[in-house]
Structure 1
Amino acid sequence: MATEEEIKTALEQVMDPEINLSIIELGLVREIDQTAEPFVVRMLLTTPFCPYAPQIIQQVKEVVSTVTGKATDVEILAEQWTPEMMPDPGLLGRW
């Protein structure tokens, strides 16, 4: 079974096309539940009506399924994203 760190490393390739940072760099992934069947990734979007949401969700499902060999669902949380959720908020300077 893939570790949470391995899954997060793989998710670094999923980019927010508008900001050009990964969903991991943005701190959008809040939880990876490997006990659920299928696996569940709980995450935020940078804005409630993100035009790239379908694309990002599909990429997350594909990446996690590739790494784990398991089906994956994505749950979008209602929590409002803020830059303070980023592991390194200084990365927004690139944006």
Structure 2
Amino acid sequence: MISEKNIVLALKQVYDPEIPVNVYDLGLIYEIKSNEEGKVDVKMTLTAPNCPMADQLLQDVFDAVSDVPGVKDVALELTFEPPWDKSRMSEEALLELGML
């Protein structure tokens, strides 16, 4: 089985192009599921539905998760329910952005 910890570590290397915080600590990752066959499902959102860098960010997430040992297939689901807001950010992200 794929380690969720390794997936999270990979996601922490992907940064929102407009905000200097990784997608995991920013709270853009809503759900991670993996199975024994090596498939990983990631449900995520964007800070705004009309994000101009959406395609690049989705590709970066796909590439990062694909590189995790044991991963054979990645499916991304983009959702805007619930809408993202700053309450989803980790304490580290809030500190990085000077919001704490």
TM-score with structure 1 setting the length: 0.86
The answer on 1:15 being equivalent to 2:18 is no
Aligned to 1:43: 44
C-alpha contact (below 8 Å) 2:47/2:84 kept by paired residues: yes
* SS of the residue 1:5 aligns to: helix
What amino acid does structure 1 have at the position aligned with 2:89? M
How many pairs were matched up?
94
Partner of 2:27: 27
1:66 Cα deviation from its structure 2 partner = 0.9
Q: CA RMSD in A?
A: 1.9
Greater share of helix: 1
Please list every run of at least 4 consecutive aligned residues from structure 1 whose deviation after the TM superposition is greater than 4 angstroms.
none
1:93 aligns with: 98
2: distance between equivalents of 1:75 and 1:5?
20
Alpha-carbon shift at residue 37 of structure 1 (Å)? 7.4
Q: Is the 8 A contact 1:61 1:71 kept in 2?
A: no
**Structure 2: stretches of 5+ with no match in the other structure:** none
